[in-house]
Structure 1
Amino acid sequence: MSTLIHEFEDILNAEVYIDLDKLRELARHGVPMKVRGEVWKYLLGVNPADRSQELTSQKAKYDEYNNIEKENADIIKRVRGEVIRYQHRMKNASGTFNQNANIFENVIGAHMNRNRDVDYQPTFIYLCGPFVYCIKNEPDVYYCFTRLMAILDEYNSTYNINERVAKFMTLFRAVIPDLCNYFEEEEVNINEWASSWLQFLLAKELQFDDLMRLWDTYFSIPDPIELHPYVCLGILLAY
């Protein structure tokens, strides 16, 4: 693992330009926790590969974030309650989880205030949590979270969830017919869990360390949401 960290650090310490191709190739096989936050920022495009204007760009982003209104009493109350439950669930994650609920409140509050047509969902906590866990700066947490939300929103608005669930069920019946039949016989509400699995990248369903490892790969490839249904099938096959 030390050799792997060294390979990541060699790329991240480049003075002029981050080699994104090499970074993606490495990240597909997993990112060490020590550098995961920095790697994700480049993979998501939050940090530009060209480092010549890095300090200026970073200052502009931080200034922008600091000027975003974050207060939203109703949202803060709901986020705070959900974060308590989330932190209790994630207490066994490797390392020390950031116990400061203010980061969740600020980041999600800022996102909601910038996107007033978006309805709050408890799933936001689960989608934000990995960034809170592995990124030190609150503004960077915000920009990574909003970038992921933009990716999901674009895909979810383009491809109807009911159609995606129907397509997934066709694959499910073809690949694991016995399990699919069992679920139907037991009257398991397949639409309910399949919708969550497909829309939110398993943020609520996977163990925390497994989720971050999966996202290492997802953030490093061009079509993670196209791959995602097959990952879900793989999980069902494994269990």
Structure 2
Amino acid sequence: MTSSPPLSSSSSSPGRRRTSPPLHSTLLREDFDEVLESEVFVDVNRLRKYARHGIPDEIRGEVWKFLLGVEKPDRSSEFTQRRARFESYREIDKENVETSKRVRGEVNRYLTRTKKECLLDPHSSPAIFEAVICAYLNCNNNIDYSPALVQICAPFVITMKSEHDVFSCFERLVNTLYEPSLESSINKRVAQFLSYFRTLMPELYNYFEDEELDVGEWASSWLRFLLAKELPTACVLSLWDVYFSLPDFIDFHPFVCLAILRHLKDSLEDLEQSEIRSMLLRLPKMNISRIVSQAYNIRSEIQARYGSITTVRA
């Protein structure tokens, strides 16, 4: 599915329609609209500031495009840039029989798992996943297919109308997540994360060890894929609102993971190994604003303990 580039400066996402939105949501929408409706220049710094408090569902896709640098703030050549992106995507080879089959199977599993959330059209969305992921892998032969690509792609399919916009944003994020320095340092990043975990929550860390939990299994996935595989979709959308507003979200992410562990500590300590594993791989719904606030507190706590925080890159 390839659609022509939109001509207007804003678009709505195919989420469920809300009735009688809360007053604070209305005010928030007005703040975003004031920035997005600028005819000359979109103030991305203001969008970042607002996005940290959450983006309304209807305009999330439009805001994400600016935050990810897909849409340029200068509106003087807006149509030309959109047309160029559209044409560029149209020319990419999207055929890959083996990958399409694997994507289709993973998308079906994802749709079954998220059926109650009703965020995706089960009839049209599988074709978008297949086209976007195959196009990306055909352009990046150094990256192998992973089921995680479906979960990473899903938020963009949910929030954006145009397939070429889905591709552009997916490409930006996956390029960041698969940056060579991050890929080669994953073991070091996991080790550092576990060190912080042991320091901050020794009782829970020791309990995991007593239960012989394979911490590498879940910790590696959490750190590599921004919790796209583990969190409920609505929580992923809210978390990524914050992440895309930050210049250093990759470095901030481990503290969010620690905040989640602290939030779930009491519940996890009541479970046995298999139950712990299930919860860590399928996290419950949670208040993302509180998690993010706790993550900032944890980062400050670690800075106070260690004097500074070392960013692990190859």
Selected match of 1:66 from 86, 90, 100? 90
Per-residue CA deviations over 1:164-212 (Å, capped at 9, x if unaligned) read 0100010000011111000000000001100000000000111111111
TM-score, normalised on structure 2? Answer: 0.74
**Partner residue, 1:98:** 121
**Partner residue, 1:178:** 203
- By how many angstroms is 1:7 displaced? 1.0
Per-residue CA deviations over 1:60-112 (Å, capped at 9, x if unaligned) read 1100100000000000000000000001112232x541322000000001001
Letter aligned with residue 242 of structure 2: T
Is the alpha carbon distance of 1:225 and 1:159 closer, same or farther for their aligned partners in structure 2, counting shifts above 3 Å? farther
Letter aligned with residue 29 of structure 2: I
Matches within 5 A, 1:77-226: 77-93=101-117, 96-99=119-122, 100=124, 101-154=126-179, 157=182, 160-226=185-251
Q: Distance in 2 between matches of 1:98 and 1:42?
A: 25
Letter aligned with residue 188 of structure 2: E
- By how many angstroms is 1:156 displaced? 5.0
Q: Secondary structure at the match of 1:3?
A: helix
Letter aligned with residue 12 of structure 1: L
**Residues 156 and 199, structure 1, Cα contact 8 Å, conserved in 2:** no
Q: Distance in 1 between matches of 2:70 and 2:213?
A: 40
Q: Distance in 1 between matches of 2:166 and 2:93?
A: 16
Letter aligned with residue 207 of structure 1: P
**Partner residue, 1:23:** 47
Q: Distance in 2 between matches of 1:9 and 1:85?
A: 36
Q: Percent identity?
A: 49
Q: Distance in 2 between matches of 1:157 and 1:226?
A: 11
Runs of 4 or more above 4 Å deviation: none
Which has the bigger relative contact order, CA under 8 A and spacing at least 6?
1
Q: Distance in 2 between matches of 1:206 and 1:155?
A: 25
1:51 aligns with 2:75: yes
**Residues 43 and 220, structure 1, Cα contact 8 Å, conserved in 2:** yes
**Partner residue, 2:58:** 34
The range that moved more, 149-158 or 117-126, is 149-158
Q: Distance in 2 between matches of 1:33 and 1:43?
A: 15
Letter aligned with residue 160 of structure 2: I
Is the alpha carbon distance of 1:135 and 1:201 closer, same or farther for their aligned partners in structure 2, counting shifts above 3 Å? same
Q: Distance in 2 between matches of 1:136 and 1:9?
A: 18
Is the alpha carbon distance of 1:129 and 1:158 closer, same or farther for their aligned partners in structure 2, counting shifts above 3 Å? closer
Q: Distance in 2 between matches of 1:172 and 1:202?
A: 17
Q: Distance in 2 between matches of 1:51 and 1:90?
A: 37
**Residues 18 and 50, structure 1, Cα contact 8 Å, conserved in 2:** yes
More helix by share: 1
**Residues 31 and 216, structure 1, Cα contact 8 Å, conserved in 2:** yes
- By how many angstroms is 1:158 displaced? 6.2
- By how many angstroms is 1:159 displaced? 5.3
Per-residue CA deviations over 1:31-61 (Å, capped at 9, x if unaligned) read 0101100000000000001111010010011
Structure 1 gaps of 5+ residues are none
- By how many angstroms is 1:118 displaced? 1.1
Structure 2 gaps of 5+ residues are 1-24, 265-314
